[in-house]
Amino acid sequence: NFLGFEWRSSFAYFTEKHRLSSINQFSYLRINDDTFLNTGYQHFRFNLFKDRKVHPEFFTQYQYDNFRGLDPRLLAGAGMRHRLYKNEYFTFIFSVGGMFEFERWKHPVTEAIIDKSLWKSTNYIIVRIKITGSADLNAIQYFQTGYDSEIKSFRNRYNAELNLNTRISK
């Protein structure tokens, strides 16, 4: 017996001056009676004065991944978003910020619970290219890092995404 599904969504609500967005992903896979894969995240972001070249943004996220023994990963932070270039066809944005991250891990062999909390810098670069009047290509790369005094080293996270966005209504 096999049951699997994946759901991804991205929503944004725009006011005259601000934007609230939500990015979500859920993946589930069960083989016979065993859950093999159960991962997901919910990410919320609030941009104040979104039309300014430099403006603040605030975010929070909940994430879980039973395959790797992570539940939960919680984070909250803020940053300054810089729009370096924008014309009708091309946009280049970067952001520099900080966040607090909490993770709870279950060791795969001993099943011991390990809690980890870190302050991290969080940074990203966005490149957006307009393809048509209702579609654009959006590439985003995140880099997060924080010093862990227990291991006397930095803990880094890098993530890259490429999305095709289309408008379905005004």
Per-residue pLDDT of the chain (170 residues; tens, 9 = 90+): 899 999 999 899 999 999 999 999 999 999 998 888 899 999 999 999 999 999 999 999 999 999 899 999 999 999 999 999 999 999 999 999 999 999 999 998 999 999 999 999 999 999 999 999 899 999 999 999 999 999 999 999 999 999 998 888 87
Structure tokens of 46? 């609030």
Which parts of the chain are beta strand (E)? 2-14, 19-31, 34-47, 54-65, 70-86, 90-106, 113-132, 135-148, 153-166
Structure tokens of 123? 């940074």
- Residue 159 sits at the vertex; the CA angle it makes with 54 and 75, to the nearest 5 degrees, is 70
Give residue 165's pLDDT.
85
Q: How many CB atoms lie within 10 A of CB 144?
A: 21
User: Where do the H-state alpha helices sit in the chain?
Assistant: none
